[in-house]
Amino acid sequence: MAVVVWVFAGGGEAEVRGLIPFLQQNFPNCRFERKTPIRQKPGPKPNKAASYGKTGQSLIEQITRELPIALNNTKQICQLILVIDDLDCRDSEQQKQTFLQAISSIQESPEINNIDKFVGFSAPEIEAWIIADWDNSIGKHPDFRSRHQRMRHWLSTEKKVPFNAPESFSEYDSERDCCQDKLSELLIESTRFYEDRERKLTIFSKSLHTSQLLWLINPKIIQQKCPLFRELYNHLNNLNQT
């Protein structure tokens, strides 16, 4: 019987479209149910601020609202509460403890104390997973495969992106509470930098391409280059073995 996992993820459209399929594809003995981000309802003026773009403290506040609702409204309690957030160059252990303390403070259901909890991070953001498995992601995507080597060269030489250790990219900016440089923005810039004047080439889109590329990456390769991802990978694999 599949392990029921409630997923509380930060981010926006990429996480809505891509994260759960990525998890389900690679950890099939778990049944993942996304609790956040909350998919936008169709309408003339969607309130993106209410649901999307949550990370760090904003995601913690959203979890403390949404988790009690889930505990009260479901007949089947999960076996794992899984939090996945962009680390944005913050301290991973400090962030982990902040999330766990917030979850532990919720007393809506006595069963919460018996539920396994795990806080995982995409560091510095989820595009690090794509960069870690570049050959299977950007290298194979039809929008980029003809120029992916030039993109990689520019990212590694001009922007110092460490392809064998992408979680170590950039440094913390205390004024903005995030990284000094964003991997997703550099991916966009790399596709603009090599734009062909004679024919229009596709620019990298975080909302579109990130979700598509999550389908292509191999977690076995990612965990070799990303220690924080390895923790998530091992935890979910251990669940599958119980």
CA 237-238-242 angle, 5° bins: 120
pLDDT digits (tens, 9 = 90+) for 113-171: 889 999 999 999 999 999 999 999 999 999 999 999 999 999 999 999 999 999 999 99
Domain boundaries, given as residue ranges, for the chain: 3-126+218-241, 127-214
Q: Is the peptide bond between 166 and the residue preceding it cis, with omega within 30 degrees of 0?
A: no
Give the pLDDT means over successive 10-residue stretches in the chain (242 positions).
Answer: 92 84 95 83 47 76 91 85 96 96 83 91 96 97 94 96 98 94 95 66 92 96 98 92 55
Answer yes or no: are the C-beta atoms of 35 and 69 closer than 8 Å: no
Q: So what's the pLDDT on residue 39?
A: 61
The CATH number of domain 3-126+218-241, selected from 3.30.160, 1.20.120, 1.10.357, 3.40.50: 3.40.50
Nearest to 221, CA basis, from 153, 145, 166: 166
- Residues contacting residue 74 through CB under 8 Å, at least 6 positions apart: none
Quick check: 84 and 56 in contact, CB under 8 A? no
Exposed (0-12), middle (13-18) or buried (19+): which is 67, by Cβ within 10 Å?
buried
What is the Cα Rg of the chain in Å?
Answer: 18
Q: Give the tokens for residue 1.
A: 């019987």
pTM over 0.75: yes
| High-pLDDT (> 70) share of the chain, % | 89
